Chain A
Amino acid sequence: MINIGEVIETNQMVEHENLDVRTITVGISLLDCGDSDLSKMKSKILAKIMRVAEKLPETAERIENEFGIPVVNKRIAVTPIALVGGSACKNEEDFAELAMTLDKAAKAVGVNLIGGYSALVSKSMTKADELLIRSLPLALNRTERVCSSVNLASTRTGINMDAVRMMGEILLQVAEGSRDRDSADCMKLVVFCNAPDDNPFMAGAFHGVTEGDAVINVGVSGPGVVKTAIEKMHGADFETLCETIKKTAFKVTRVGQAVAKEASRLMQIPFGIVDLSLAPTPAVGDSVADILCEIGLEYAGAPGTTAALAMLNDQVKKGGVMASSYVGGLSGAFIPVSEDQGMIDAASIGAITLEKLEAMTCVCSVGLDMIAIPGDTPATSISGIIADEMALGMVNQKTTAVRLIPAIGKQVGDKVEFGGLFGYAPVMPVNAFSCADFIRRKGRIPAPIHSFKN
């Protein structure tokens, strides 16, 4: 029988340590919505999303009431639109119309974000992929809730450098399109290497082609819970520290598992995975950087940061996989700058740099995330940053991502404000030396060798 101490501990985590279910994401296949007529396709897409996800908000509310655990976000992920829209979309305007349909569906259902305005181009691009990518400035400008991702590389295929070059330019256009809002549209656009099919977190969520008709994926979070647990571990050795993190991750992930199962039962949609990521928010005490400080760093970014993060990430996984048989998605510690007060502080005083963040992405999920850079950064340099991050993912057989915000009209030392869960970020310096000739080369970087791993 459950004892009072355990009940108090759980409620304490919810009330004081920001334990919550970050997202219940319903994945919906749109592969059966194909049509050569654009308006027919739009109605099919709208009808299907509304039919499958209709009960999501009420289900989330019911779970919150039953378990007493907040469900912060309700979201939808759909099949990458480039795979669906090709038969009807003949130009960028046509694709943007599909984005507007997704936006309409998200508003009708009552979810705050919908992901899947995506293209998978890790080897090369179809005409539809290219049109979708070129439509991004238009699509993201005309919609509020649509998120987009582009998979540019994979361990099996290498890096599609033509697409990397294109994304550098596109990102600047997206930034320009929303310059009056601190280039905030860039928050809804992420590029990946080895993108997972079942990621419930935005902006990178899409419903992969290996998935069934519909699926429920849940993302849990709990940086505050981990931090509180290790606050009591001052001076403890690594074994004790690791045990504490593992146990905490287990408990947090079990919450996700319980919520996912219940959501699956209530909505009669199969349960997919629990993503056991530590996802910070700008709320005080909900920071991954604070955990690193608690482990023993003055600021995130100090020497030792990569090692501390590697340890944290690994223990979170070890605890988490014990808690759910189906762990998937990104599953690790997120290190977004603007969404984490500890990271914002570290970036503001210069403790952490773009290069250190890059090193950190080698040992955690996911990548260079929510980083504001000067708006006059050349497109080729943005492509260079993307290419570096893709290379890390490709060689290390892991997911990596880049979500940069080139803040138009802003310089290093300025600040961009996004509001709410997205927080704010100081504009960080980018290495000023050129990689233009490298980026101008055509073709792709071949897949790495999978043997001789020395």
Chain B
Amino acid sequence: MEHTEKEKVIITVVGKDTVGIIAKVCTYLAENQVNILDISQTIVQDYFNMMMIVDLTGKAELFGKMQKDLDEIGDGIGVNIKCQKAEIFEMMHRI
């Protein structure tokens, strides 16, 4: 695994669709100077699923705070927001 891979973080948002979910998350990321590399979304069993890949290169110390802040933002709008290091997904789904 290359070291640079470790700095990518996957943010997932799961919950009932509502106005402004993406805006709230993006605003938070912009305020913290976090670059978004990719966004995709889909509906699974009536649930809104969004995934963002963000770049935390050079800002690894932000991870814990971001996890906590986004969790609170999620609570505020009634969705579940998770942050996980991308490495775990790379490991599981790529040979």
A contact set with B: CB distance below 8 Å: 1-11, 65-69, 251, 254-255, 257-258, 322
Contacts and interface: CB of A to CB of B under 8 A. Distances in A.
Interface in B32-67: 37-38, 40-42, 44, 49-51, 53, 63-64, 67
7 contacts: A2-B86, A2-B93, A7-B51, A8-B44, A66-B63, A66-B85, A68-B84
A251 B94 CA distance: 9
B44 A2 contact: no
B89 to A, nearest CB: 5
Contact of B88 (A4, A5, A8, A67): A67
A255 B91 contact: yes
Contact of A67 (B12, B37, B41, B84): B84
Contacts of A322: 95
Contact of A6 (B50, B82, B92): B92
Nearest to B11: A7
Q: Which 3 A-B pairs have the closest CB atoms?
A: A68-B84, A67-B88, A258-B91
B87 interface: yes
Interface string B17-29: 0000000000000
A67 B86 CA distance: 8
Nearest to A2: B89
B84 A4 contact: no
Chain A residues touching B, majority SS: helix
A248 to B, nearest CB: 10
A11 B51 CA distance: 12
A224 to B, nearest CB: 16
Chain B residues touching A, majority SS: strand
A10 B63 contact: no
Given A1-B53, A7-B10, A8-B49, A65 B64 contact: yes
Contact of B87 (A3, A6, A65, A67): A67
Contacts of B14: 11
Contact of A255 (B10, B42, B50, B92): B92
Contacts of B89: 2, 6-7, 10
A210 B40 CA distance: 49
B40 A4 contact: yes
A1 B88 contact: no
B93 A4 contact: no
Contact of A258 (B12, B41, B88): B88
A4 B87 contact: no
Given A4-B40, A65-B67, A66-B84, A11 B93 contact: no
Given A4-B42, A7-B89, 4 more contacts: A1-B53, A4-B41, A10-B93, A251-B92
A251 B37 CA distance: 25
Contacts of A255: 88, 91-92
Contacts of B41: 4
Nearest to B88: A67
B12 to A, nearest CB: 6
Contacts of A2: 10, 53, 86, 89-90, 93
